């Protein structure tokens, strides 16, 4: 018993000393770091956030484990509103961002954040939107689908994960570039609900994430007609044409970028440390393996690159959403 007590004392002293030392040396971070996810547990963003942060505790990475807190509601608005106004600005609280979602919401108004409210740390993934139809659909190419939309204005129902998410942006661009009018149906419950609507035949077509679409196509439930990106996805869908090469002027504005950010006002030293360490964590071989297994495309971008990307998106989306 005495031995045990002695052991505890030694352990406690050791812990206290390391804490003391690290505090003196300004070793950030010296306790676990939280990541707020503005969507529910089990969604694509939540799932990927858990994977890309799984090696954070390694000594050569952040050196501290990362835990996930879900703050879902109202298409991400609840979580990001909280993050912009109430989250502690000490570097120990990060949030996952979804571009174009949060930028498009801030352009439309009614929320307490914009790109100026946050400081990006790094980007981990880029998930392009794909146009897909049920496996028994009469549409076999994107041309078939556009022809139908031209002949039947407002009759082509098109499901997507919500308003102002990448899917919605892609639907807007598709309509603009083809001069058609389609019925975009936002679903509640994210990409999974939108996918269900396509597979069950509740809607004629859908727009969804490449990762989820690839899975559904592999299971034989849907046909993927086109990708809304600048280039074909060589890794997962080498045979599916982009909208651009099919002759429709749709760029990569709808590609869903996911990454980490901190609120504005976080100490610069903390931002610098995170921005230096986090990209390496995203590139870790075990992270890459798990992400690839799940069909989630990786795109690691540094803080500077993300800042550029946010600016470009802000401009493109402001133009697209004008007059909506």
Partner 1 sequence: MEFLNHFGGVFEPLALMLLIGGTVGGLILGATPGLSPTMAVALLIPFTFHLQPVHGLILLGAAYTSTVAGGAVSAILLKIPGAPANIATSLDGHEMAKQGHGARALHLSFLSSGVGGLIGVLLLIFLTPLLSQWALAFGPSHLFWLAIVGVTVIGSLDSNSFVKGLLSGCIGLWLSMIGYDDIQGAQRFIFHDALSGGINIIPALIGLFAIPQVIDMFGKGRFITEIETVKVPKQQFMNSLRELRGNVRALTIGTTFGSIIGLIPGVGGQIAGLVAYDQTRKFSPDRDKFGTGHPEGLIAAESANNAMVGPSLVPLLTLSIPGSPTAAVLLGGLLIHGIFPGTDLFDNHPQVAWTFINSMLIGQILMVAFGIYTAQWAARIALVPNSLMASAVLVLALFGSYSIQQSMGDVYIMLALGVGMFFLDRFGFSAAPLVLGLILGPIAEANFIQGTQIAAAQDGPWVYFLTGPLNMLLIFFAVSSIAFSFWSNLMASKSKKDGLAEEVTK
d(CA 235, CA 197): 27
Smallest separation, CB 168 to partner 1 (Å) = 11
Smallest separation, CB 294 to partner 1 (Å) = 4
CA 294 to chain centre: 15
Binding-residue pattern over the window 172 to 191 for partner 1, x denoting contact by CB under 8 A: -----------x-xxxxx--
- Taking each helix axis from N to C end, the angle separating 303-321 and 166-178, rounded to the nearest 10 degrees, works out to 50
232 binds partner 1 (CB under 8 A): no
Find the binder of partner 1 among 58, 64, 114, 157 (CB under 8 A).
157
Smallest separation, CB 305 to partner 1 (Å) = 27
Smallest separation, CB 290 to partner 1 (Å) = 5
Smallest separation, CB 10 to partner 1 (Å) = 30
Dig out the tokens for 104 from the structure: 């498009």
Smallest separation, CB 256 to partner 1 (Å) = 17
Find the binder of partner 1 among 7, 20, 32, 42 (CB under 8 A).
42
Query: Nearer to partner 1 by C-beta: 76 or 91?
Result: 76
Query: Nearer to partner 1 by C-beta: 183 or 230?
Result: 183
Find the binder of partner 1 among 22, 27, 30, 50 (CB under 8 A).
50
Binding residues for partner 1 restricted to 60-119, rule: CB under 8 A: 69-75, 77-78, 81-82, 105, 108, 110
Query: Nearer to partner 1 by C-beta: 46 or 303?
Result: 46
Are 224 and 151 in contact, with CB atoms under 8 Å apart? no
Are 82 and 25 in contact, with CB atoms under 8 Å apart? no
Using the rule CB under 8 A, give the single segment among 10-18, 148-156, 233-241, 306-314 that binds partner 1.
Answer: 148-156
Find the binder of partner 1 among 202, 246, 302, 307 (CB under 8 A).
202
Smallest separation, CB 213 to partner 1 (Å) = 11
Dig out the tokens for 223 from the structure: 């046909």
Binding residues for partner 1 restricted to 276-305, rule: CB under 8 A: 290, 292-295
Strand partners, 263: 118
- Contacts with partner 1, residue ranges (CB under 8 A): 40-43, 46-47, 50-51, 54, 69-75, 77-78, 81-82, 105, 108, 110, 154-157, 162-163, 183, 185-189, 192-193, 195-197, 199-203, 215-216, 218-221, 290, 292-295
């Amino acid at each position: 018993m005495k031995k045990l007590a002695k052991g505890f004392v030694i352990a406690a002293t050791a812990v206290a000393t390391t804490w003391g030392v690290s505090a003196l040396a300004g070793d950030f971070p010296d306790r676990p770091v939280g990541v707020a996810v503005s969507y529910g547990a089990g969604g694509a963003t939540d799932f990927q956030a858990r994977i890309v942060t799984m090696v954070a505790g390694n000594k050569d990475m952040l050196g501290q484990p990362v835990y996930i807190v879900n703050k879902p509601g109202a298409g991400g608005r609840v979580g990001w509103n909280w993050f912009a106004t109430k989250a502690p600005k000490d570097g120990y609280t990060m949030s996952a961002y979804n571009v174009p979602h949060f930028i498009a919401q801030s352009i439309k108004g009614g929320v307490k954040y914009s790109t100026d409210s946050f400081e990006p740390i790094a980007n981990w993934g880029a998930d392009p939107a794909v146009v897909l139809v049920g496996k028994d659909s009469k549409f076999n190419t994107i041309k078939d689908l556009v022809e139908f939309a031209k002949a039947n204005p407002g009759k082509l129902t098109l499901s997507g994960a919500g308003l102002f998410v990448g899917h919605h942006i892609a639907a807007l661009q598709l309509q603009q570039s083809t001069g058609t009018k389609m019925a975009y149906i936002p679903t509640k419950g994210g990409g999974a609900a939108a996918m269900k609507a396509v597979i069950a035949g509740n809607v004629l077509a859908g727009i969804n994430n490449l990762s989820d679409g690839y899975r559904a196509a592999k299971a034989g439930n849907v046909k993927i007609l086109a990708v809304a990106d600048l280039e074909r996805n060589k890794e997962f869908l080498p045979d599916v044409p982009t909208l651009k090469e099919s002759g429709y002027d749709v760029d990569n504005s709808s590609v869903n970028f996911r990454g980490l950010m901190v609120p504005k006002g976080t100490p610069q030293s903390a931002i610098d440390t995170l921005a230096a360490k986090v990209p390496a964590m995203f590139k870790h071989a075990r992270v890459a393996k798990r992400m690839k297994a799940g069909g989630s495309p990786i795109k690691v971008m540094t803080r500077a690159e993300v800042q550029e990307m946010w600016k470009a998106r802000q401009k493109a989306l402001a133009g697209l959403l004008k007059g909506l």
